[in-house]
Amino acid sequence: MATLDIKPIAGALGAELQGVDLSQDLDDATFGAVRQALHDHLVIFFRDQDMSPNQHLAFARRFGDIETHRYAKGLDSHPEILPVVKEATDKAANFGGIWHSDVAFHEAPPMGQILYALEVPKTGGDTIFVNMYRAYETLSDGMKKMLDGLNAMFSGERSYGPSDSEVTKRQALFSKSMDVKLMNDAAAEVGHPLIRTHPETGRKSLFISGIAIRRLEGMTVEESRPILKFLKEHAIRPENTCRFSWQDRSVAFWDNRCTQHYALNDYHGHRRVMHRVTVAGERPA
């Protein structure tokens, strides 16, 4: 087993793992330790990695099947790898610049994402993560009781639907740097439990996602708005978060089932290029 050094970076979540070369096939003991670190810290980081696209995919496949992004084009050579790009000339929106759980509006949202930094600005472009276990656990008993058993309705319309909304216009702006498609099927609603149970840890977490969560099942958007507004603001309290500063060849791997994240857009005039691989998940329960 490789000598694995785990250094937490915040009280809520997040840890850097040292002593692991992700370009190599990990022995079972090392892989088990990495997987456990992901369960313990929710998002794990690696520095100074040199991974080819094939090695990136091979590491991800240890955790499950790979899925491609339905609305954004992958690499020509490796369609399973999504290039997350913002060019220096692009002063508009960035990809992921809102609090969200990745494609929460899918029937089976991803298990996790493995993001590899190829080119980052010297300053700016940090990513903030939030612990959604803690978001649930710090709710009052009365709120937990009210939310228990409720489904929330999710939709990708405001991210990838061909409407005239301000958010869709925003998506069209970053499509100058990325090949992003707007499709009618993104408007469909799917219901997921507002409180989900992690299939591996058995812990409960709050399952909300930025603009993707539209309303509570059986309620109108207007009726749902004050409850969802409270939950969104409660989840992202600073004490529930960690912040990661990228360097070239850094890797972040987050458990999409119990976190949200936000990509800061504070590096205008500088190029940022990442490769992202998505590990398929299961329907929330």
Which residues belong to the active site? 100, 102, 261, 276
Determine if residue 168 is left, alpha or beta; phi over 0 gives left, psi from -120 to 50 gives alpha, anything else beta: alpha
CB 81 within 8 A of CB 279: no
Identity at 87, one-letter amino acid code:
E
The string of DSSP codes covering the chain is ----EEEE-SSSS-EEEES--TTSPPPHHHHHHHHHHHHHHSEEEE-S----HHHHHHHHHTTS-EE--SSB---SS-TTEEEEEE-TT--S--TT-SSB-TTTTSSS--SEEEEEEEE--SS---EEEEEHHHHHHTS-HHHHHHHTT-EEEEESHHHHS-S--HHHHHHHHHTTTS-B---GGGG-EEEEESEEE-TTT--EEE---GGGEEEETTS-HHHHHHHHHHHHHHHT-GGGEEEE---TT-EEEEETTSEEEEE----TTS-EEEEEEEE------
